[in-house]
Structures are given as structure tokens and as C-alpha cells.
Homo-oligomer: A and B are copies of this chain.
Amino acid sequence: MAPLQQLVIIGGAEDRAGDCQILREFVRRAGGRSAQIVVLTAATSEPEEAGKTYISVFKRLGAAEVQIVDTRDRQDAEKLEGLLAIAQASGIFFTGGDQTRIVRAIKDTILDDAIRKRFHAGIVVGGTSAGAAIMPNQMIVDGNSVSSPHADLVRMGEGMGFLPNVVIDQHFAQRGRLGRLLSALLLEPSVLGFGIDENTAMVVEGDEFVVMGEGAVTVVDDSATTHNNLEKLGTVEKVLTDEPLAVLGVKLHILPQRYRFNLRTREATPPII
């Protein structure tokens, strides 16, 4: 049987100083005391600082080894050192920053191939903030928060594709991003959107995820949406950009810690006890 794929997708601002519930879970899934973690700092313009922080916290949480792989450009992503690190990694972690920097430097390089190979072998891949945004095949590049849905609210771009056919937004409740997530969902064929709060994670294993942390994961199920203000141009539907989008019959779940969600059946489940 193929190993289950594992993701720890964090909505940003995870606890790195206290109990570190989420990062602790990441380390546990990476093998605990034998964990060999690679931290990818491509997203941030301050890779040294971010690197130091994660080396310190992952070591404190018991990881055997933590190595930084920083890629400023695609040439960096061809370097042997990074490839070797990934080949030996038992956990791979993307820091926050700007999601486009990750895609620009790593997507479709041999480093990407190496990461993907380890991921399909069952090695846990984690990411926070920008590192969470990159998980789907289509990601939110940027867009305004605190607005009702609007077709020109968000800009989408190619993501890293670890969790296909969904849309992810981070810092969700903290930045009031319901409108932004709904806009993104309307702009692409996915029917599931996940809004992850700060210091909160979706811990994915195969077809299911469980919520962990302080806040909640808001699940937007767009499959029963019956109407929005699209303009029919012959057989092509064009989204009207000059007014707010209508969204009728979206189903919403707000899941705090220990709640589960099945990505295939789209069903949420409360904790057993």
C-alpha cells in the first residue's frame, strides 16, 4: 500500500516560543528524536533570521537535525547541497514570507522534483502563512481582505500543488478574509476552500485532516452554490467585475481543534470524545 501523504498547513503566526503544539506535531510526524528537518526559506527576504528561529525551535522540540535550504533563484534550486538535504529529510518545512518567491525559485526545478518524491514517499511537508498558501495547485497570490466577494479582489497563480483542487487562505479570521476566499473559489473550478486562522493548522493525512491549534479552520463548500452573477457570453460565463459577486447557498463549517474533515466526502466530524 502506498504511504499516506502528510501535510501540516499552518495559518501563520504559530506559537514558536511556548508549548508549540503545532510545530511539535510536525516534529513528531518527522520522526521525533530522529527527525531530520529541512527548512526552506525561499519565501522570506530575511532567510537568516527565519532560519535561526526554526533551527532553534525544531531543535528545542527534539529534532535530531535541522538544515536550512535557502533558494534565492532557480540556480540555487539546482545545487547539490539542497538536493542531498531533501533526499535525507524526514520533514520539509516552508517558512512564511511571499508565496510567489517560493514558486518562482523552486517550482519545476530538480529541487521541486526531489521534494515531491519525498512527499509521495510519505514524508511530512509543512508550511506556514506563505508556506501554506503554496499548497494547492492554484494559490491566492494577493488580494484585499475585509471586503465582500468581488471578482477583481484576488489574483491567483500557480501553487506547488501538494494539495490539489482546493483553495487555501491564511491569517483567516484575523484579517477578515471570507470575501477573499470566496472570490478565489469563484475564479477557479475547486469547490473547497479552507481559511486557516493564525496559530492553527490543518493536519492532513491522506483524504482527511484534523484541526490543531488556537483558532479554527473555516471550510467553504461551494458545491451547492446555485447562482452567482455571472454574465453568459454565448457559451462562456464571464464573471462581472464591476459589482460584488452574489453567492447563494454556500455551505460553511467552522472547525476548532480536534474536528476532522474528509476531503473526498466533504463531511466534517466532531471529535469522538
User: Shortest Cβ distance from A257 into chain B, in angstroms?
Assistant: 7
Asked if A243 contacts B229 (CB within 8 A), the reply is: no
- B-binding segment of A20-28, A107-115, A141-149: A141-149
For chain A, residues 238 to 262, give those with C-beta under 8 angstroms from any C-beta of chain B.
243-257, 259
Q: Which of B147, B251, B255 contacts A246 (CB 8 A)?
A: B255
Contacts A148-B216, A148-B256 given: A270-B244 contact, CB under 8 Å? no
- The residues of B that contact A177 with a CB separation of less than 8 Å are 176
Q: Which of B174, B175, B256 contacts A243 (CB 8 A)?
A: B256
Asked if B253 contacts A250 (CB within 8 A), the reply is: yes
* Measured CA separation A148–B254 after assembly (Å): 8
Asked if B229 contacts A216 (CB within 8 A), the reply is: no
Chain A interface, >50% SS class: loop
* Measured CA separation A56–B229 after assembly (Å): 36
Interface size on A, residues (CB 8 A): 39
Asked if A246 contacts B259 (CB within 8 A), the reply is: yes
Since A216-B246, A246-B254 are in contact, a sample of 16 more A-B pairs with Cβ atoms closer than 8 Å, ordered by chain A residue number, is: A146-B176, A147-B174, A148-B173, A148-B218, A173-B179, A179-B254, A229-B256, A244-B254, A244-B257, A246-B255, A246-B259, A246-B270, A248-B255, A249-B251, A249-B268, A250-B254
Return the 10 tightest CB-CB contacts between A and B, nearest first: A176-B176, A244-B256, A148-B216, A247-B254, A148-B173, A216-B244, A250-B252, A148-B215, A248-B253, A178-B178
Q: List 29 A-B contacts (CB under 8 A).
A: A145-B176, A146-B174, A146-B176, A148-B197, A148-B216, A148-B254, A149-B254, A173-B176, A175-B176, A176-B176, A176-B177, A176-B178, A215-B244, A227-B270, A229-B256, A243-B256, A244-B256, A244-B257, A246-B254, A246-B255, A246-B259, A246-B270, A247-B252, A247-B253, A248-B255, A248-B270, A249-B268, A250-B251, A251-B251
